[in-house]
Structure 1
Amino acid sequence: MSCDPATEGQPPQGGRPIRIDEMLAALAMALICVISLANVVVRYLTDVSFAFTEEFSVFLLVFMTLTGSAVAFATDGHIRIVFFRDLLPRRLRRLADAAALLLAGLLFAMVLYYGALFAWDEWEYEETSPGLGLPNWIYTVWLPVLSGWILARIGGRLFRLFRHGGDA
């Protein structure tokens, strides 16, 4: 991560901006806002609540969080404490960054594996959501899919870290 606040969270020079991830996260956030606003307006005008919209809102919130995580890893904008890392020589700093990325990769590999098992169980046992009666796997299948996407972004970040030889 750069010490310059102006370049923090930006894609590396020569790299492609991560537009699709950002657009998907923004779309999810916009849909959450529209659904919530519609629910409030309808409740205010008619005293009827669309409680089933919570299913969509929770799904979109998880979707937005995971796509935002992919953006953060791709642009090196994720939250971390660098006080001690910045005291290290450049070579050890790169090693510490690589270790952190590998641990994050391990975490998301486990989320991918167990998320896939969870989605498979939901599909196999034909579980349905309580509000709308939709198959639950429609919501849970995105957990391993987006975890795989995050793993790809972590892999790209590791590649750039070693290709540029440091704070890429």
Structure 2
Amino acid sequence: MSQYLVMIVNKTTARFLTLRDPQPLEYTGPCLVEQQALLNPIQSQMGRELWTSSKSGGNRGATRQSHGYDDHRQSHLNEFDRRFAHAINAGITHFIYSYPIQRILLVAEPQILGHLRPMLMATLPKAIVPTEVAKDLCKLSVSEIYQYLLERQLLPRLSKQVS
């Protein structure tokens, strides 16, 4: 197990990846391995599955004008994001105390990053400062994620060893 933990997060999925060191006879360099994935069941639901009515403010008066009602859906969605961020934080804490993690690379949507940042600062050891990238890479394959992070020099590239 490597010292790198790479987190790829959006509103519906959190992927925990580690950087695996190559075997002694391999010359391909390190590669990412997906260890775990978390799903946010609330955000994956749509429309009527999540809300009683699909559109708010549809009550019409006698004059056929619609009355606007605020059902506070956005505050509920923010709360769902905050709860998902707590589950992600628990997963990161598990990896830190189970494996020799020294560096965390957090690639997440800006909204989720905003929820995760204060939690991580409160729970991570002071020696570990996560590197943050505000980008959604959840739909990419592991090899595409690895190439993306290598191109931006966020992960180390091992040179070929001559034997």
The answer to whether the superposition gives a TM-score over 0.5 is no
Structure whose alpha-carbon radius of gyration is higher: 2
Q: State the TM-score, normalizing by the size of structure 2.
A: 0.30
| Larger helix fraction of residues | 1
